[in-house]
Amino acid sequence: MIRIYFLPFTAILVSVIFILRLVNLQIIDSSYKLLSDNNAVFEQTLFPERGLIFDRNGKVLVSNKSSYDLMGIPENISVFDTIELSNILKVDKKLLVSNLNKARKFSSKLPSIIIPAIPKEINAVIQEKIWKYDGFYLQKKSTRHYPEAVAANILGYVSEVNKNDIKKSTYYQSGDLIGRQGIEKYYENDLRGKKGKKFYQKDRFNRIIGSYENGKFDISPKNSNNLNLTVDLTIQKYGEKLMENKWGGIVAIQPSTGEVLALVSAPSYNPNLLVGRERSKNYSNLSLDTISKPLFDRSLQAQYAPGSPFKTINALVALQEETINDKTVFQCNEGHYYAKGMHMECFCPKGSKNNLIKAIYNSCNTFFANTYRSIIDKNGSPADGLEKWNKYVKSFGLGNYLGYDLPIGKTGFIPNSNYYDYWYNKGGWKSSTIVSNAIGQGEILATPIQMANITAAIANRGYYITPHFVKSDKLLKNKIVSEKKFTLIDSIHYEKVIEGMYQVTERGTAKIAKIKNVKVCGKTGTIENFTKIKDQKVQLTDHSIFIGFAPKENPEIAICVFVENGYWGARWAAPIASLIIEKYLNKEVKRKWLEKRILNGSLLNEYEKPYLGTEFVINE
Amino acid sequence: MNRNIILSIDWITVLLYFSLISFGTLNLYSATYDESFQNISFFLSPIGKQSIFLFLSLVSGMLLLAIDPKILEPFSNIAYVISLILLLGLFLFGKTVNYSTSWYSFGPISLQPSEFAKIGTILVLGNYLSKIQTDIKKISSQFKIILLIAIPVSFISFQPDLGSALIFIAFFFPLFREGLSQIYLIIFISATVLFLISISYETITTIVIILFLFTIIFLCLRYLNPKIKLWPIIFFMMISIGFSFIVDYGYNELFEQRHRDRIEIFLGKKIDYKGAGYNINQSKIAIGSGGLTGKGFLQGSQTKGNFVPQQHTDYIFSTIGEEWGFIGSSIIIIIYFTLIIKIIISAEKQTRKFRRFFSYSVASLLFIHFLVNIGMSLGISPTIGIPLPFISYGGSCLLAFSMLIFIHLNFDANRLNE
């Protein structure tokens, strides 16, 4: 019996074992599918070229330069000569080894960047030898290039995604670029387009032998959008040049559209520094400079007391509230006592009688202190008065984010009654307590772009359009509404203030800002400011500020210039603003002497003072 | 071909045969499909050459069905001698491929005489067994049988083609069926176990394991029969230890590294996916990635990427696994199994010893190919490079096995006629 059934039973046993084995391999254990994909399918990511960025006249601000990344799939990497490879790549062997280890830790199956941004010359060499290194391949990638090396603060920069970015969005893979700051960040989705994927069939020697399943799974990349900025390259470049060796910001806006023509922050940096291999080193150098803070955008993030330019706003509020009119006159005796023993200085000669226009062009503190107090005290209760004033002021876009299309910003500060109730208790303060606000000193804080925006609102006689940096309406849809935002001041009141501002350059504090054949309106400011040295409040040289617009009728440019510790508004800010206006409206600057003075002027000595550790003199 | 044949032929076996060769051809097309070499002449491509042999197989099949079955028995000795001459002739005229001189080459067509030696050996053994004076229980007859097998096996071993030589182990099954002592079964199994132990462990460990096993066997026997003597146990133990020393020596001195690697991979001693274990691993990946329904005809990424070496010959089953999935693979296993069982059942019905032995041997050879080839692709038997008949690329194998099947069909059809 055993003789007859031995073979048939063995055959049954073997067949059953085979089928059980198949069940295990093909149905239960799913790891083989992945193994086979890794084996045989090579996934190439197709990066759409990142969108270019142009200025308002179509001049290139950001373009792309191609470079190659050395990619590696740890699982496929076999033993190789690390010294040879690092010599070819001209990198430190230790870096190569440590990056390989990092890649292994990240994933043995997924590709990682081993050496990023290989320059063209080295790429030519490595391309020929890459076959020697199993598991390595080169991936073409474009990096950013800034032909003009300007507007770093507006454009921002891109860098490789980190673990958090990958965690936050499934779109990104190790080695992808992401906008980190500025336009690059805000318009990331438009600029990056959408990656595509192409699958190739590999053979066992890792050679590509054709497309995988006739490209059934391929995803073609979605093209990126090019961006046209509202920024005028000429003005931006000129502004940056004028601000050399000075700290501060310039914001120029086209009042009729809200388009930002220039946004200068000084000191800044060459955007090309944050591209390529040296990126992280350069970045840490920039971020470690905590004194001049080149990565800090003073135009968007610095909150200064607005100083005298704010007087124009107080005048408008008072006119609207009818607590003054264009005939109101206040007498000034080199200042005035606003409370017992409390004196506010002014530069008006003794016995000056100032009406609104004269008060503006002479920047009379006394006039505006009285004006401001008339607003606050109008209804008897300073709290009610302040709340009303607060509402007016906020309608200029102060005290809140403006909503422009850049990722950073500050709200500034417009005090309300709660604020003073907190500090002085309820009813513990009067208009005289907060009178510093009259001249833009007190508790008010504003950023240069906010100040430029109120200038635009004045130039428009009562409305502003949210400042923005990108021209195409398509991209701005639902992001920034191009609607007119009206202030709470009737448009007739503006003319009186504008006349005063016009006189500022005609006969007032900023005659230096006068441009031949152009009616420039403006307002200077000289702002007291303090710092802390060894926990002691120390006064520094005043900030120099100027707001202005031109021409007086149908204004084309509104500007705010802020120069830290520049002393008189008329010394730095006004000439700089005036030069930019001249350049923008007339295309060329005739006042070479003024231009030369500004270009050669340096305030670096001024900025050193607090750090020298010795006694120093301010407002020289 | 007379009408009787058509009526009495085993159509189920014919159907199984044709389903295997048609599926095999289709699958071979996929396994050798290469987009980049489409302009190559059809008859030079693997599928073209295979088609020529398919045609030859069917023609010779018709002839073998038509002939009088009686003429085969006297023809046995001549067939065997021709087989041996062909094998010897290789050492003079053979073509060497991959270090083995196993082929006669006629232009693009190659013939592998070791495949046809199987037919000769079956015939000669059947003929010898059916003689009156032969008694399989006698040592002298057993010696002659072993000699008849050993001659072609040694010729094939010297080619060297260990895979094809090992296939002759299949003759154990028909011989056992015909009355070979059960001792051989025990020796056969013990030798296999001892072989595996010897190559798996160090010499000292092997001896300890042998001592331990024999102590247990002795204690069990002592329990069953208290009178049992110690010396035969010690005798067998010494033989076992001697055998393990020979295996150890042979394994380390006579085997080449690639053979050792293959066995060690199978035993799990070496895990080296990029080295010698690569084939098995890639084959497992190909089969495993097929899933339930497979990737579809011509869609296997492992197959297309040529990840599995010798995929169209030894690892053909991995293509089936990848492209046809669990369903396709199981169907092939079931068809194979059914064919083997069908042949055995027919063989058991034969009253003539010669014909019964012949059919039983066909089933056994098919079974050993099936066991070793698919087992290897699935990673459960050692890597021995032999084809899967009717499915793998290889004209000689196809032709030889087709001839075997058709002779079997002839014997089976004429069983009731005589």
Domain boundaries, chain B: 3-180+256-413, 181-255
Amino acid at A407: P
Each residue's pLDDT tens digit, A404-445: 888 899 999 999 888 888 888 888 888 888 888 989 888 999
Of A2, A7, A31, the CB nearest to B364: A7
Which token pair is B96? 């060497």
Angle of helix B316-349 versus helix B278-290 axis, rounded to 10: 80
pLDDT bracket for residue B274 (50, 70, 90): very low
- CA A485, CA A464: separation in Å to the nearest integer? 5
Asked if B333 lies within 8 A of A15 by C-beta distance, the reply is yes
Asked if B176 lies within 8 A of A37 by C-beta distance, the reply is no
Each residue's pLDDT tens digit, A545-559: 999 998 999 999 999
> How large is the average pLDDT for residues A594-602?
91
Shortest Cα–Cα distance, B363 to chain A (Å)? 9
pLDDT bracket for residue A231 (50, 70, 90): very high
Each residue's pLDDT tens digit, B346-372: 999 998 899 999 999 999 999 999 998
Distance in Å from the first CA to the final CA of chain B: 16
Which token pair is A259? 């388009």
> How large is the average pLDDT for residues B177-206?
80
Confidence at residue A254, expressed as pLDDT on a 0 to 100 scale: 94
Asked if B380 lies within 8 A of A17 by C-beta distance, the reply is yes
Shortest Cα–Cα distance, B357 to chain A (Å)? 12
Shortest Cα–Cα distance, B67 to chain A (Å)? 30
Shortest Cα–Cα distance, B306 to chain A (Å)? 6
Asked if B333 lies within 8 A of A18 by C-beta distance, the reply is yes
Each residue's pLDDT tens digit, B62-98: 999 988 888 888 899 999 999 999 999 998 888 887 6
Confidence at residue B309, expressed as pLDDT on a 0 to 100 scale: 65
Which token pair is B68? 């009088």
Shortest Cα–Cα distance, A205 to chain B (Å)? 8
- Is the pLDDT at A474 greater than 70, yes or no? no
Cβ count within 10 A of residue B350: 18
Amino acid at A243: M
Confidence at residue B272, expressed as pLDDT on a 0 to 100 scale: 47
Share of chain B above pLDDT 90, in %: 35
Cβ count within 10 A of residue A368: 30
Which B residues 84-123 touch A at CB under 8 Å? none
Asked if A2 lies within 8 A of B286 by C-beta distance, the reply is no
The DSSP string of B13-48 is HHHHHHHHHHHHHHHHHHHT--GGGTTS-GGGSHHH
CB-based contacts of A351: which residues, under 8 Å, 6+ apart?
A331, A332, A333
Return the residue matching tokens 């910003």. A409
- Chains A and B form CB pairs within 8 A to the count of 126
Each residue's pLDDT tens digit, A100-127: 888 887 777 677 888 887 877 888 888 7
Confidence at residue B252, expressed as pLDDT on a 0 to 100 scale: 73
pLDDT bracket for residue B39 (50, 70, 90): low
Mean pLDDT over all residues of chain A? Answer: 86
- CA A165, CA A565: separation in Å to the nearest integer? 40
Asked if A23 lies within 8 A of B326 by C-beta distance, the reply is yes
> Closest chain B residue to A27 measured between Cα atoms?
B291
> Closest chain B residue to A79 measured between Cα atoms?
B274
Least confident of A253-257, B131-135, B143-147: B131-135
Task: Flag whether residue B317 sits within 8 Å of chain A, measured between CB atoms.
Answer: no
Share of chain A above pLDDT 70, in %: 94
Q: Give just the sign of the alpha carbon dihedral A403, A408, A412, A418.
A: positive
Residue A408: alpha-carbon gap to chain centroid: 6
pLDDT bracket for residue A205 (50, 70, 90): low
- Give SS3 for A142: strand
pTM of the model: 0.60
Of A7, A18, A19, the CB nearest to B173: A7
Angle of helix B139-157 versus helix B113-129 axis, rounded to 10: 170
Which token pair is B175? 């011989």
Backbone torsions φ then ψ of B379, nearest 5 degrees = 75, 25
- Give SS3 for A138: strand
CA of B312: how far to CAs of B28, B209, B320, in Å? 6, 41, 11
When computed from its CA atoms, the radius of gyration of chain B, rounded to whole angstroms, is 23
**Is the distance from CB of B391 to CB of B332 less than 8 angstroms?**
yes
For residues A236-266, one letter each, b for 16 or more C-beta atoms within 10 angstroms of the residue's C-beta and e for the rest, the string is bbbbbebbeebbbbbbbbbbeebbbbbbbbb
Domains and their CATH numbers in chain A: 42-228 (3.90.1310.10), 233-612 (3.40.710.10)
> How large is the average pLDDT for residues B279-286?
77
Per-residue DSSP letter, A222: B
Nearest residue to B313 (alpha-carbon basis) of B60, B18, B102: B102
Confidence at residue B35, expressed as pLDDT on a 0 to 100 scale: 57
